[in-house]
Every structure is written in C-alpha cells, then in structure tokens.
C-alpha cells in the first residue's frame, strides 16, 4: 500500500480516515485488514519502530487533550466522572485515556487482552512522562482484588463483545470498583465490523442494563445519559 501521510498527520485520527476512504469504499475487509493497514502506515511514516509509535502517541495525545480529535469530548467527560485517586481502565487499547489520567496524578492501571499493545503502552509511557501500570488480561476476569480501585472505566469496549460477555465485564468492573464504574459506548445503527464491533447500543439498551444491575444489587445507583454516544454511570 502506498500513502502520503506525513509525520505531523500521524495520529489516531487515521481511524476515521481509513474508515472513510478504505472501509466505506469496500477496499478493506474486516478488522484484521484494517489493523494491518493502520500499523503499516504508522511504521512507514517515521523511521524506526519506537520513533514512529512515539510520534503517533504524541500527536494523538495532543489532538485529544486540545479538543481536536473526534474522541476528545468522550475523554473529557470520562475524566470529569473519575472519582478518587486510583483508576483501572478495562479494554484500554492504545491507552490514551489511562495516559491522560496518569498525567493528572491518578494512580492508573491500563488493561487489555492484547499483550503486544500493553507492552507498547508500557514502553511509550516512560518517554512520555506518564507513568502507569499495564496488565494483559480478559476484561471478564481481571487478576486484581475486590475493591482495588476507586473508579473503573469501560470506554468503548462493550460494542466489541457479545451481550453476555459485555454484561460479565460490567459485573467484573463492579467487583473491582470501590466507588464508581463509568461505561461509554457509541451509538450505531449497525456495528462497525472494521473496528471489531459486534453489537450496537441505544439509550433503551443502556436502561435495560441499568435496571438489571439495580435488580441484582439494591445498593447500586445507576444513571444513563447521552453525550457523543451513550453513558452508564454506576455508584455504590
């Protein structure tokens, strides 16, 4: 594949660009091809693997934290909902949100099913000056004790999972959280296969989850809202 992406354009904004130009036009078929092209562009835009990924991370964080990225409002709202001084983030992927909370002085653990992604995040966090812990694990079975964190965040993870698995992740988040669980999902009419989405959400779907959780745990409060997608906030 030939591209003309410049180093200053190298950021997570590639997701929207590739979706529009390659997935919507039928050039790419599914998540594996999407991820291969994405990684290939990063690695061929700047010489050297670590230099390329650091450029990608620095550009992405700059866009996210200065409001120029599509995901910026989601991270800003999630940050405003964090309670306490210790946070566990489930399904962190590149880990932009955990890097944000770490920069704000929160004791942060990023988790993801992908070991290489967590290794990359651990490596780039040091030169970025944003120290955090990383953990490779299934979000349904996190090797952390009960009540380990004040807040557990689950940001744009559930759409990648079948309904039963998504619910199991929320229950696991509640096990780990002392005070609050923050869930964010996109609202899509059809799940985006190129991004690995397998289910879609709307307000009614989130309300159904909230009601089920309250029925199971009388001491739980749940609120549902809409802001650049859907939000479910659970408090003890």
Per residue in 197-233, pLDDT (tens digit) is: 999 999 999 999 999 999 999 999 999 999 999 999 9
By C-alpha distance, which of 168, 179, 180 is closest to 142? 168
Mean pLDDT across 99-113: 98
Structural domains of the chain, ranges and CATH numbers in brackets: 7-65 (no CATH), 72-235 (3.40.50.150)
Mean pLDDT of the chain: 94
Per residue in 22-60, pLDDT (tens digit) is: 666 777 666 788 788 889 999 999 999 999 999 999 999
Prediction pTM value? 0.93
Helix 49-65 × helix 96-103 angle, to 10°: 70
Q: Cα separation of 95 and 111, whole Å?
A: 8
Q: What is the model's pLDDT at position 29?
A: 67
CB 193 within 8 A of CB 34: no
């Amino acid at each position: 594949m030939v591209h003309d992406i410049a180093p200053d354009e190298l950021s997570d904004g590639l997701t929207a660009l590739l979706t529009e130009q390659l997935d919507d036009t039928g050039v790419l078929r599914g998540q594996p091809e999407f991820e291969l092209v994405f990684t290939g562009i990063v690695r061929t835009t700047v010489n050297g693997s670590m230099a390329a990924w650091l450029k990608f991370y620095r550009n992405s964080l700059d866009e996210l934290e200065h409001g120029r990225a599509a995901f910026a409002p989601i991270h800003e709202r999630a940050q405003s909902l964090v309670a306490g001084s210790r946070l566990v983030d489930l399904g962190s992927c590149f880990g932009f949100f955990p890097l944000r909370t770490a920069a704000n002085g929160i004791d942060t653990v990023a988790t993801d099913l992908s070991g290489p992604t967590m290794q990359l995040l651990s490596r780039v966090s040091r030169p970025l000056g944003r120290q955090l812990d990383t953990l490779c694990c299934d979000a349904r079975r996190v090797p952390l004790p009960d009540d380990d964190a004040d807040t557990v965040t689950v940001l744009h993870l559930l759409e990648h999972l079948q309904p039963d698995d998504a619910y199991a992740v929320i229950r696991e988040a509640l096990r780990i959280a002392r005070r609050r669980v923050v869930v964010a999902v996109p609202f899509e009419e059809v799940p985006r296969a190129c991004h690995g989405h397998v289910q879609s959400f709307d307000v009614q779907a989130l309300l159904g989850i909230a009601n089920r959780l309250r029925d199971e745990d009388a001491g739980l409060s749940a609120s549902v809202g809409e802001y650049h997608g859907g939000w479910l906030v659970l408090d003890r």
